[in-house]
Amino acid sequence: MRVVVTRAPHRVLVADALGCLLLLFLGRFRLLVHARILPDMAELESWKHCPRCGAGLEPLGGGARVECPQCGFHYYASSKPTASGLLLDGGGRILLARRAREPDQGKWDLPGGFLNEGEDPRDALRRELTEETSLDVELLEFFDVVVDRYGDADDAQWTLNLYWTCRVVSGTPTPADDVDELRWFARDELPPAGELAFHNNVKVISRWRDEHP
């Protein structure tokens, strides 16, 4: 016995017409769709060759990973971890660092930086704070974690940013490394969002402000 399922002709026509419209729409706005997809694959977007053997590579899984067909090298894209400090003085002021380099050169940043390979994030934070401010600090409490991007460029690296509250143990704030100015800000004097570097700082400072009215 044969079962034949038919659709009314006008429904087929409507379905075809909708399909054509959808294709036209996607074609017309391909650049827009492309621009919205690209940022999710920033890390491996530019990988054309295997770093181990030089064979040609195509990112897989929408840019989530590469697998070398020649030597078997595997690499998974991920967000780069950073550690930063809400460094507080006795009066509840926060120390901000003005960035000497791009991205976001000239904007105020919470001091901190990228972890070295294998480095504990708390050690990384103490190291970065000493490099950027010449201060010895003590970490107090873990405050927040925020996923962000390192700047606004289409291929900007994704970052996973960890924050601790800290206090100064010794030293005088002296800008160095990629910082050209350090300044203590009282709660009500903190710079507006437009003068802060990176979206994650805006989020963390805003939360800090909300929790310390």
Binding mask 67-106 for Zn ion (x = CB under 5 A): -x-xx-x---------------------------------
- Total residues binding Zn ion (CB under 5 A): 8
Measured N-to-C along each axis, helices 30-37 and 9-28 cross at an angle, to the nearest 10 degrees, of: 70
Could you tell me which stretch among 28-36, 46-54, 140-148, 179-187 binds Zn ion (CB under 5 A)?
Answer: 46-54
Could you tell me which stretch among 47-55, 108-116, 125-133, 180-188 binds Zn ion (CB under 5 A)?
Answer: 47-55
Confirm or reject binding of residue 26 to Zn ion (CB under 5 A): no
Q: Which of 42, 50, 86, 88 binds Zn ion (CB under 5 A)?
A: 50
Query: Can you name the residues that pair with 99 across neighbouring β-strands?
Result: 179
Q: Give least dist CB 139 to Zn ion, A.
A: 41
Confirm or reject binding of residue 55 to Zn ion (CB under 5 A): yes
Other Cβ atoms within 10 Å of 196 Cβ, number: 22
Strands (E), 124-198: 136-149, 158-170, 179-185
Show the tokens assigned to 36: 């919205």
How long is the chain?
A: 213
Q: Give least dist CB 46 to Zn ion, A.
A: 17
Q: Which of 30, 52, 80, 212 binds Zn ion (CB under 5 A)?
A: 52
Question: Nearest CA to 180 among 85, 105, 115, 125?
Answer: 105
Question: Nearest CA to 205 among 73, 62, 83, 96?
Answer: 96
Binding site for Zn ion (CB under 5 A): 50, 52-53, 55, 68, 70-71, 73
